[in-house]
Amino acid sequence: MTTDNTSAPTLRYSAVTFDCPDPAELARFYGEALGLPVVFSTDHFVLLGQEGAAGLGFNRLADYRRPTWPDPSREKQAHIELGVDDLDAAQARLLALGAVKPEFQPDPDRWRVLLDPAGHPFCISTLV
């Protein structure tokens, strides 16, 4: 199959958006963790980012249910991988900002799984 690129619209990656019960709270957590400013905000949606770069969005969902990890009866929805220089120092900072460290850690010497304030799992690693 061939494609005609002359008529194809230009697409660009702009953001990943997470459903949550409180977009302002989740934006505060990731904004402080990643040093990203709020670029757009309403009562139901907050977007973090920097001009010319992809961002992170947080969308209020009235019937939001926290992800469960690890839970073999439900598939993981998605998660973010964050690169860090020092696992212990990064983990301490993220916990102070409101993250939670679940008991199960698949490979704590290489990466750590944490949960953000809305329960989304995310990883920190020196490999990324």
Domain count, the chain: 2
Question: Is residue 66 domain-resident?
Answer: no
From CA 118, how far away is CA 43, in angstroms rounded?
17
- Is 54 contained in some domain? yes
Q: Which domain holds residue 88?
A: 77-128
- Residues 125, 84: contact at Cβ < 8 Å? yes
- Whether 45 is covered by a domain: the verdict is yes
Classify strands 55-60 and 121-125 as parallel, antiparallel or unpaired.
unpaired
Mean pLDDT, range 25-40, rounded to an integer: 96
Q: How is residue 124 written in tokens?
A: 């920190």
The answer to whether residue 54 scores a pLDDT higher than 60 is yes
pLDDT bucket at 75, cuts 50 / 70 / 90: low
